[in-house]
Chain A
Amino acid sequence: MIRRNLKVVLLCLLCTGVQADQSTWSSQRDLFTVSYVSELMPLQINKLHTWILHIEDAQGNPVVAALLEVSGGMPAHDHGLPTYPRITAELGDGDYRLDGIRFHMSGAWEITINIAADGKTDSVVVLVNL
């Protein structure tokens, strides 16, 4: 029920014309692709918020039951994220809810997502410019 509600919320966000900064990022060994929709559009600094990650395999099929670890930081400033964001729910069809993300500076951020699914592991770096 909760999953369905979350999906409805996500779809409503898209169908009501909220612009989603959605790009696709390939993993280092091209095993997976990742895209995201942020609850905050456009992205802003200093706000704790949620992303929905969408994971597909190399053939474009949604990846379910994946284990995801998320970290990140600003390479130019040699520091990490101000929080420990983590996956709090798998929503089905390759969607995962990422809670607790916040950026506290403008500039170039890297969000690293380690993916383990179907006995395969790979890593994606999502670039965010604020």
Chain B
Amino acid sequence: MKRFSIAFLFAGLMALAWYNWPASPRPWTEADIEVLKSLSIESLEPLPADPTNAVADDPRAAEFGHALFFDPRLSSNGGISCSTCHQPLRNFTDGLPKGQAIGTSKRNTPSIVGTAYSPWLYWDGRRDSQWSQALSPLEDVNEHATNRQQVLDVISSDPMYAGMYSELFGELPDMTNVVAVNIAFANIGKAFAAYERLLQPGPAAFDEYVAALLEDDVDRQAELFSDDELVGLQLFIGKANCTQCHNGPLFTNNEFHNTGVITAAGELPDKGRAVGVREVAANEFNCAGSYSDAASRSCPELEFARTGPELVAAFRTPSLRNLENTAPYMHKGQLPTLFATLQHYNEAPLAIIGHNEAKPLKLRDSDLRQLEAFLLTLSSPLAIDEKWLRAPPSD
């Protein structure tokens, strides 16, 4: 009996050791290296043009948008700016499950960084440009809770803003003309977008590791990546299936997936993209609308957008760059840590509504810790002068 107990204890200890013993890295294959190149920031294509925004790349518009982004006067209580929730030091998120402004937002504050590459904005893609997205929080009763007339009043009553506006767009409108007010409001969004387009991630340790790998610089590789980070990367592009959605140099396909995330406490399940795709089609400020600068109203993203039940509870894949300071995670901030998020994908539970596309991964806790170690190598300063990350000096 005693011998049996000792054997049982030994087997238990061995199982525990196996479960927690970190795996060792394996040599890279040519196919692996191709995937790594596709994920490197070196593969990031030049910023795509935004034909819906005539001032998207005008530096004067970026400066105007920069000032507006940090201005709390654009809110009903004079205390909320875009930067209240989109905080530069947190990769333009806020560290909360849901944004807290005039009220509580419906969802987790997503980052703005790199969104100029996405055809869709918001977790549910209910806007199709950075400028149309920027307008929405201004009039959301839980966010800035102001309105387009009040926003334009702020612009016209501030000589610097009025000057910046007229230089870019001409005279401010007659406030009794609804269409003229809408055009001017859209222009404000376009200035915001010109600033937001500048917010791009810079090279991270991961990118430097890929460069060292391609140069066959073994010493530099060892300096940059620990064994745990290396195994985590190998899991990321292999057994953990992460690159199915988190692909390309921004680690996102910008598409919508149901991954069976639990419903937020006390709420009905969120239908996500299934509703967002209808909302973007109806939005007056979309690509095809009269406030868009797209000359031919050519809007292939809207024209070929998918609808239907497959999109129930599907949410946009977020970028994984700079996620270190962006907890909690998921569309309602349901998962408090990166490790909890990895555990969620490892388990791949049944979706409350719709269908979870992910499958259980059957990874060990030690594997998840190595994946986490890799994900933290994606942090980097933004590829932008720091002056853009704080309010401009007031003259």
Contacts and interface: CB of A to CB of B under 8 A. Distances in A.
Contacts of A120: none
Interface stretch (B55-63, B188-196, B239-247, B365-373): B239-247
A83 interface: yes
A72 B307 CA distance: 14
Interface in A76-130: 77-86, 99-100, 102, 104-107
Interface in B244-277: 244-245, 247-248, 253-257
B303 interface: yes
Contacts of A104: 245, 253-255
B64 to A, nearest CB: 31
B253 A83 contact: no
B357 A46 contact: no
Contact of B300 (A48, A77, A78, A80): A48
B107 interface: no
Contacts of A8: none
B253 A46 contact: yes
Determine the interface band of chain B, counting residues with CB < 8 A from chain A: 20 to 34
A45 interface: yes
Contacts of B284: none
A45 B253 contact: yes
A12 to B, nearest CB: 22
Contacts of B119: 48
A84 B244 contact: no
B306 interface: yes
Given A78-B357, A82-B255, A105 B306 contact: no
B244 to A, nearest CB: 5
B303 A100 contact: yes
A80 B307 CA distance: 11
Interface string A40-56: 00000110100000000
Contact of A77 (B244, B301, B304): B244
A88 to B, nearest CB: 9
A106 B306 contact: no
A84 B253 contact: no
Contacts of A83: 304-306
B201 to A, nearest CB: 17
Given A46-B254, A100-B300, A106-B243, A78 B355 contact: yes
A48 B301 contact: yes
Given A46-B247, A48-B301, A106-B247, A81 B306 contact: yes
A85 B306 CA distance: 9
B279 interface: no
B140 interface: no
Given A48-B300, A104-B253, A84 B306 contact: yes
Nearest to B35: A106
A9 B202 CA distance: 38
Nearest to B356: A78
A48 B253 contact: no
Nearest to B314: A79
Contact of B304 (A45, A46, A48, A106): A48
A69 B253 CA distance: 25
A85 B255 contact: no
B310 interface: yes
Contacts of A102: 304
B243 A100 contact: no
A77 B243 CA distance: 13
Interface string A52-77: 00000000000000000000000001
A102 B254 CA distance: 12
A89 to B, nearest CB: 14
B254 A107 contact: no
B46 to A, nearest CB: 14
A86 B301 CA distance: 13
8 contacts: A46-B254, A48-B301, A79-B257, A84-B304, A84-B306, A104-B255, A105-B253, A106-B243
Given A84-B305, A104-B253, 16 more contacts: A45-B248, A46-B247, A46-B253, A77-B357, A82-B306, A83-B305, A84-B307, A85-B304, A100-B303, A100-B304, A105-B244, A105-B253, A106-B243, A106-B244, A106-B247, A107-B244
